[in-house]
Chains A and B, each alone.
Chain A
Amino acid sequence: MHDLMGYALFCAALTAGGWVLARWMTRVYEGGPNPLTTVLGPVERGIYRLSGIDAQVQQGWRGYALAALAFNLLGFVLLYGILRLQQVLPLNPDGVGAISPDLAFNTAVSFVTNTNWQAYSGEAQLSYLSQMTGLTVQNFVSAATGMAVGLAVIRGFTAPKGTGLGNFWTDMTRSVLYVLLPLSILLAVALILQGVPQTLLGGAHVTTLEGAQQIIPRGPAASQIAIKQLGTNGGGFFGVNSAHPLENPTVASNMLQCLSILLIPVAFCFLFGRMARDARQGWAIYAAMGVMFLIGLVVVWAGETGAASLEGKEMRFGAALSALWGVVTTAASNGSVNAMHDSFMPLSGLVEIVNMAIGEVIFGGVGAGLYGMLLYVVLAVFLAGLMVGRTPEYLGRKIEAREVTLAMLAFLSMPLGILIGGAISVTVPTAAASIQEAGPHGLSETLYAYSSAVGNNGSAFAGWGAAAQWQTTALGLLMILGRFAIILPMLAIAGSLIAKRQSPVTVGTFPTHGPLFVTLLVLTVLILGALTFFPVLALGPIAEHTALAIGQSF
């Protein structure tokens, strides 16, 4: 009961925080002055002038998509270069060597796509330069890309006919300057106060009680952890991520990190309602996400705090906080961990895989969660909207063949990436070698990895060989699929919708707020999203769970 009270408090704080942040973000994206423009306004204008951007230009969906793609491609090339050349570049006090081409490809894609899948161990394989200018920069701008695309998609659904989707460059710059940067600074300071290191001095050389020499890796951790959580990135400074005592030292730092992971995704729901000039629309989406989040949380909590075996369990924060973290991060496409998900009960693993495999739409990545959920909204409205005897409409705009085609294309990327990628991975011997456990758990590991990559989450079941060349390459390609095969169709849907006139609401209009619509949306996600993976989940976590129940082991 104690745990559930804590969860309730967490949800209340999260909702309030998201609501307040949404007000702030509305103001920021409207482009007018805000309290920070006195300081950051010149910086913003300087950035536009330096890069030759006209902040007033409105882009269509093609222009917006091209700008996002070009920016991400450039980011990838830069990051790949830094990773490959880090041994000759400065800020490398521990003298780490170069990264292999496939691992560099995997890591660069992973950070550009906001996945932050870590097939490397940060403190051992990356220089400070790679961490700070390579990864941390992408932590900001990949998150800002998601937020910008999210904004453009919201405009497509809500802005008046004939207006543009916005401007990618200004949306991204404002996301970084006025949202991500201030929040990161606040969070980093809070984390430093909790004992997270922030130093450029290299590892600490200490003599242990037994008299042995030990190097304790340190570094500019707090700043990177702040953005890794706020931007639903998840790439830890240390290899074991937030399970590391220096990355997540206290219960307070743990709760702060949990909150900051979901803060912006929650704010996006309310931002949607604000931009639609109908707060109920935002609340409906928030409620649908919230219901699924709570279902997952209760299942994992029950599994982890029940009569579970203690092997491999995180004892520092205990089962309830491990459960919360596990659900928060897999729901939000944040790859960080504070306990090894591999050691969770099978049904907990099931919840985590489902959270990712449905496309990271339970709050999801910053911006990405909302546009992912809008994909399901389009499908739900089309399916059920016909039942009120009108051409299906959402926010007054008709959902027609073009939108349905694009939504199906986007939707297809999840089963395509996870099922086909996973099936090849368990079949081809080189790839199947990554599996280290026999029986259904091995399958769960593979499923988890592929769901994590396609969903742009980034966390993994430990004990699965992610560094194998097959996997770094395959997962790298699937991260690209999972990111852009949804961004492009969703932007195209936004472009198509914004060109349609909005019909006024009457009693004949399909209601897209209220409990009925929330139920419909949840059922659509579960039946179209989750059920697609039911057969393979039956062979993985469900088989493992039922086998445990009858005492079968592998």
Chain B
Amino acid sequence: MAIESLAALTEAGKHEDLFDVIVRSDCVDRGVTPGESIAQMTALYGAIRRAQEGYDAGLRSHSGMVGGDGARMRAYASSGRTICGEYIGSVLAQALEMGESNACMKCIVAAPTAGSCGVLPAVLLPYQQREGLSDTEMVPAMYVAGAIGQVIAQKASIAGAAGGCQAEIGTASAMGAAALCYLAGGSAEAVCHAAAMAIKSLLGLVCDPIAGLVEVPCVKRNAAGAMIAMSSADLALAGIRSAVPPDEVIDAMREVGDKMDVSLRETGLGGMAATPFGQAVSEKMNSTEP
């Protein structure tokens, strides 16, 4: 059966490694063997690696608003002049590259959605490289990320149309925070609090895509979501805990999503989409449609 709450995940993680707990849960959930489950997750991680390699800085999205920024950030990251440092620069570049690949119809892995597909790779791939980890050693962190997403999907939502961008980038950031915290040796409790602190930081974020396209502001929000995932993981690893219990944080996320005006839930009517710039792009797109 799927893990129902972060409290249940924390409890189970006191006695056993979270990886084992979540693999077993997946086996019951889908009627597969541990070997089949792990092989599928390993293949999925392989797809993320291929998506990383597939980035093409020369591509532009349908509207022309998106493309090339990942390469721009990557060049700047290695310039030695960055504010955040080279490592965080490479995280930001990875987030933008994956988001741009998605907007330009390249193959990506939705995590949890296509619009938020850049967050998890952005926190995992540079960490893997820095720590010299194999793909096999990264797979358990994918399980931890997935379980956090499952709990959020069950108690709140992972769809921008239902819960705003907090449900997409917010969830992706929580998944990334949990995965990093786990990889760095954090306890199950720390993992769940890392996720909760990420959600709290992105609570209320609206889904306001210009012309309804997964381009602006979606791509750059992947960079922001990755940064918050890293800061939340570090807070949790330092021993800092969310004052509000993690499950209550997810409940609040649902309540905020329910209260969010429909113009701010993936309809392309409010927020960035409603700015004069956003409306001009929308009108231009509509006039070019056959």
Binding between chains A and B: no
Interface residue ranges, A against B (CB under 8 Å): none
Interface residue ranges, B against A (CB under 8 Å): none
